[in-house]
């Protein structure tokens, strides 16, 4: 747990540092707000690919190889982003963002590693503890925008590329921590395998994994809410900075608003984990979706210069996303047995990143053509179906249990 916590702090700082200026740098390189949304699309598609790859490697080799490979890929991506800024190459920048997106997917997979050895009634606490520590990096990261610009100028680099230098450092430390210190491997211990020897399981084929989900209403509910919540969060968060920038709000203020959002995403995860363990995952899940809808109303009625209102709306969005992610992740882990768990968890994270990639691509077009208010209205509509599905999905299914630990 200590290893996971340290890795999350430094990697979270790297993620937040880069994402604070990603859309702005993409717009500067490409010269288009519509194309700027593609940078987030590239990152989420990279996260989707990384989620599948990390899950497959984890299933066969354990958590340590999977997580360390993800952070190494992200570090390489951050290097490519710096080169792309220097060369002013938008295609190269998108390539870098594809690899950069592996950091977010890997960090999210780490929450499942925290729950591998947790007692059934402590899974929410274990997952949320790892997510909560990310708040340190989330708060620090966006506020490195100014120092990053100064560092880049001192090195003769484009100002906005400086934050990616901090990202390289953060991902490198996370890679080293996981590689050297995540011993013994928690997943292998949970399977009753020795970390150094013993038979390794092959990753189940996609068809077999989908059959595991068929008829498992709790698992389906968990995945659908994770997908919808992440899609909306990415679409609105990635365009809020541009919405403010178009209103001539300064980079420092934009960074502070995004910092509040990221603090909401991770700072209160432990509270939601406690609530899941104390009550049940469905109640927290329903409340999180309702709060996310409210955040769409608050943010969507704000002009680009309404900094306080946008800050409140974005912070509420972060809090709601955290509640949805923690509750749905616990529900998913409870609904699938330990043998199929890594593959299903990876599929869930892969699906949410693919959906978010579509949302990010469309968000820039919607912002430019229809405005920020319409973007939040459409995002709110996306949340209605999973909001109705949470209470409707209470029915138990053969071979699957909700809010009951799996064998």
Label residue 269 by pLDDT band (50, 70, 90): confident
Largest CA distance in the chain: 63
Given this model, what pLDDT does residue 226 score?
92
Range 317-340 burial, b when 16+ CB lie within 10 A, else e: bbbbbbbbbbbbbbbbbbbbeeeb
Distance CA 266, CA 263 (A): 6
Asked whether 199 and 193 are in contact (CB, 8 A), the reply is: yes
User: What is the pLDDT, as a whole number, of residue 367?
Assistant: 84
Q: Which helix (H) or strand (E) holds 216?
A: none
Collapsing DSSP to helix, strand or coil, 397 comes out as strand
Specify which of 139-153, 210-224, 366-380 reaches the highest per-range mean pLDDT. Answer: 366-380
pTM check: above 0.95: no
Whether 332 has a pLDDT exceeding 70, the answer reads yes
- Centre a 10 Å sphere on the Cβ of residue 38 and count the other Cβ atoms it contains: 22
pLDDT exceeds cutoff 60 at 392: no
Is residue 27 within 8 Å of residue 35, measured between CB atoms? Answer: yes
Could you tell me which of 339, 48, 406, 109 has the C-alpha nearest to residue 202?
339
**273-325 per-position pLDDT tens digit:** 889 888 888 889 999 999 999 999 998 888 877 788 988 999 999 999 999 99
User: Distances from the Cα of 118 to the Cαs of 8, 42, 114, 204, 330, in angstroms?
Assistant: 18, 34, 7, 24, 11
- 5, 130 in Cβ contact below 8 A? yes
Quote the percentage of the chain above a pLDDT of 90: 23
Decide if pLDDT at 23 tops 90: no
How far apart (Å, rounded) are the C-alpha atoms in residues 161 and 372?
Answer: 26
Rounded to whole angstroms, the Cα distance separating 283 from 178 reads 34
- Please state, in angstroms and rounded to a whole number, the distance separating the CA atoms of residues 323 and 390: 14
């Amino acid at each position: 747990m200590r290893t996971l916590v340290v890795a999350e702090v430094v990697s979270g700082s790297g993620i937040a540092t880069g994402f604070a200026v990603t859309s702005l740098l993409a717009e500067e390189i490409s010269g288009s707000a519509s194309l700027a949304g593609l940078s987030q699309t590239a990152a989420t598609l990279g996260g989707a690919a990384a989620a599948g790859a990390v899950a497959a490697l984890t299933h066969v080799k354990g958590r340590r190889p999977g997580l360390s490979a993800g952070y190494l890929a992200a570090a390489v991506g951050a290097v490519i982003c710096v080169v792309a800024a220097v060369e002013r190459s938008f295609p190269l920048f998108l390539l870098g963002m594809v690899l950069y997106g592996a950091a977010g997917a890997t960090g999210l997979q780490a929450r499942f590693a925290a729950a591998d050895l947790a007692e059934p009634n402590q899974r929410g606490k274990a997952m949320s503890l790892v997510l909560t520590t990310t708040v340190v990096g989330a708060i620090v990261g966006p506020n490195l925008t100014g120092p990053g610009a100064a560092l880049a100028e001192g090195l003769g680099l484009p100002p906005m590329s400086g934050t990616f230098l901090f990202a390289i450092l953060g991902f490198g430390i996370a890679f080293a921590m996981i590689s050297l210190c995540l011993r013994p491997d928690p997943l292998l211990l949970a399977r009753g395998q020795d970390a150094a020897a013993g038979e390794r399981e092959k990753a189940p084929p996609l068809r077999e994994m989908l059959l595991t989900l068929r008829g498992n209403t709790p698992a389906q509910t968990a995945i659908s809410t994770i997908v919808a919540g992440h899609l909306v969060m990415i679409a609105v968060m990635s365009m809020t900075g541009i919405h403010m920038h178009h209103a001539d709000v300064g980079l420092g203020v934009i960074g502070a608003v995004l910092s509040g959002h990221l603090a909401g995403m991770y700072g209160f995860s432990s509270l939601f984990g406690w609530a899941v363990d104390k009550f049940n995952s469905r109640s927290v899940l329903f409340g999180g979706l309702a709060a996310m809808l409210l955040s769409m109303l608050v943010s969507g009625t704000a002009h680009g210069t309404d900094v306080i209102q946008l800050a409140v709306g974005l912070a509420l969005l972060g809090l709601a996303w955290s509640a949805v992610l923690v509750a749905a992740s616990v529900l998913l882990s409870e609904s699938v047995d330990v043998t199929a768990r890594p593959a299903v968890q990876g599929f869930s994270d892969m699906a949410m990143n693919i959906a978010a990639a579509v949302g990010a691509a469309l968000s820039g077009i919607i912002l430019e053509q229809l405005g920020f208010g319409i973007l939040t209205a459409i995002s709110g509509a996306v949340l209605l179906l999973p909001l109705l599905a949470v209470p409707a999905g209470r029915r138990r299914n053969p071979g699957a249990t909700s809010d009951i630990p799996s064998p």
